[in-house]
Structure 1
């Protein structure tokens, strides 16, 4: 069957149309324990003026409603709960915080995961990095937040199931830096951003994976026009980088941090709902390189982008289903493709081919649908490409 034309997308819309960057898993914590309401004193720490303890503990860990890592004892590893958004029952959603405060002063790097609730390799990556750190031998601080969107993680699904004002599913990576007067996920994002992440970050790395039913290659999303951001992205031994300018998608966490003056990147670590240990190792190696670059830990650099072939995509295009049926890919992740190359076919329940899909660009495969069945509008593939930019703006041709 002849291809139906695919609509082009401009660069600023490419992530929305295609890649569903991605979170992780932990359980809902101790809702039976009484929790103090957020107080106005918490606003002080939003400006980096201090830590606010609620007076409560959960599973033996102290609860804070605002944090300044400089208040923590040097040379030690600290485990805390951050008091997030309050729900209609009066209870709060909590966020797990691990802080390795070095014995000596230095830079502060924040590692985050769990913005989407079905992203497991991202959480495991952060945990692995933190378990390799020895605060007694560090300069500066590494703070990790592994479960930002806990309601989504409880359901092991991408989006926050919000019912505070209407029944809806909210993508937490489309609401940053949040709004303390908005819906529950908006309020939660604002609290986490203003009272936990931004005050403690000289640099940040927000880890994701592909979403349920759609896997991605090992790649980084980064605004390569920002020197500090490029320096971080280049330290990862991964094969692809999506060069996404900050203004293209300002409501993702890493871009919101960048807008607030914190150099940040977004690694993508494979498929959702599973652990890809070999791919995780690549991102652990790259993250340890970043910590060495910032002088937080010492030691020889591991592999970087200089040791692997890195394809930098200045644009991206999705392949979108035009029919319903059973999908069969003709390419694999990281494959090079040419414009006009057939990359997938689709069959109906009689086994007849109802659609064939071709690439509209020359580039590399960075994402593929893993759910075999699909319907019109589903993303089937995600292709990174590089080409001259006419008149200073990328245009995605049909």
Structure 2
């Protein structure tokens, strides 16, 4: 009996000493980069940069979808900042921002951990598609409406669930999801925020416009914020390109955020004086089809009923002048002059005085 009791006691001690379920799970490597099924940055040594492939599910031919992850773990303890990019496969500037941060953030000077995921949507990136497109198009869901997903569900639910449960949520105290506008449109440097804390984060990254916004169900930003992790969406200009000026601004803004979080040394830069804060937006739409020519640049201040664009027919004859629906700032423009009836030519951000709209209408 004493031997049996000793054996049981030993087994209990081993179980109690075993790593938690969230521990990093390595399953192999590719080109000397470890492949993992789960990440827990607490496992990783301090003062180092490490790269991983995260297995986020399987393609229709049974091969894994591998998502790149870069972790910079500081020499001293501190918060965990999660930066993600490429959840829409035609929105690329954010990927270059994370590549640059991976080359410039010094682990020896960092307090806390920087977790970067430069390419959340491999099938979308391969096809330059906004959607999650693992097959020839029988279904093309928006991965940024699928969080937190469901492991064991359909393809996109399982993919999102693995990202959420095994990579994103367990490794974030604060987060920024990087985007651009999608094909045929362009943004300024533009941030979506949803409360006072995330508005402060938005101010620190130094955008042109902050849009207070209640957001959409299933986005990385809103799902994290609702779960207690303050998060913002950072929009960086045009799709399907690397814009060096926009990338440099985002790198500087995220560095400024890390200073505010006490992750990096240095003085915190105040928000730009030109920053425009809005809580609503209104599309300016063409009521006739044709060729559109914008009359004002992206970012211009506008007054209600000010001309924004001209629509011309196939012979160049003016068929419509599109007017601004409100006083505000042009936050988005259509870059393709071919215009369908009812298409949005521009979006105007503005501040609604309705008290219910304080954090977004």
Q: Say whether the fold is shared (TM-score over 0.5).
A: yes
Conserved? CA contact 2:124–2:134, under 8 Å: no
Aligned to 2:15: none
Query: What's the RMSD between the two structures over aligned residues?
Result: 2.1
Conserved? CA contact 1:48–1:199, under 8 Å: no
SS at match of 1:387: coil
C-alpha separation between the residues in 2 aligned to 1:206 and 1:238? 14
C-alpha separation between the residues in 2 aligned to 1:330 and 1:185? 41
C-alpha separation between the residues in 2 aligned to 1:64 and 1:322? 52
C-alpha separation between the residues in 1 aligned to 2:121 and 2:67? 8
SS at match of 1:158: coil
Q: How does 1:305-320 map to 2 (within 5 A)?
A: 305=271, 307-320=272-285
State the 1:181 CA deviation.
Answer: 4.1
Q: How does 1:1-398 map to 2 (within 5 A)?
A: 49-54=22-27, 56-163=28-135, 167-223=138-194, 225-227=195-197, 229-245=198-214, 248-301=215-268, 303-305=269-271, 307-389=272-354, 392=356
C-alpha separation between the residues in 2 aligned to 1:363 and 1:51? 48
State the 1:137 CA deviation.
Answer: 2.2
TM-score relative to the length of structure 2: 0.90
C-alpha separation between the residues in 1 aligned to 2:316 and 2:199? 47
Conserved? CA contact 2:295–2:309, under 8 Å: yes
Q: What CA deviation, in whole Å up to 9, does each residue of 1:36-83 have, x standing for no partner?
A: xxxxxxxx99x87311112x2112111111100111111110000000
Higher RCO structure, 1 or 2 (CA under 8 Å, sep 6+): 1
Q: What CA deviation, in whole Å up to 9, does each residue of 1:264-296 have, x standing for no partner?
A: 011111111112212222211110011111121
Unpaired runs of at least 5, structure 2: 1-17
Taking structure 1 as reference, are residues 184 and 319 closer, same or farther at Cα in structure 2, changes over 3 Å only?
farther
SS at match of 1:234: helix
Q: What CA deviation, in whole Å up to 9, does each residue of 1:68-112 have, x standing for no partner?
A: 011111111000000012233221111000000111111100000
C-alpha separation between the residues in 2 aligned to 1:202 and 1:242? 22
C-alpha separation between the residues in 1 aligned to 2:62 and 2:240? 31
C-alpha separation between the residues in 2 aligned to 1:161 and 1:348? 35
Unpaired runs of at least 5, structure 1: 1-43
Conserved? CA contact 2:22–2:166, under 8 Å: no
Conserved? CA contact 1:238–1:308, under 8 Å: no
Conserved? CA contact 2:280–2:350, under 8 Å: yes
TM-score relative to the length of structure 1: 0.82
Conserved? CA contact 1:239–1:308, under 8 Å: no
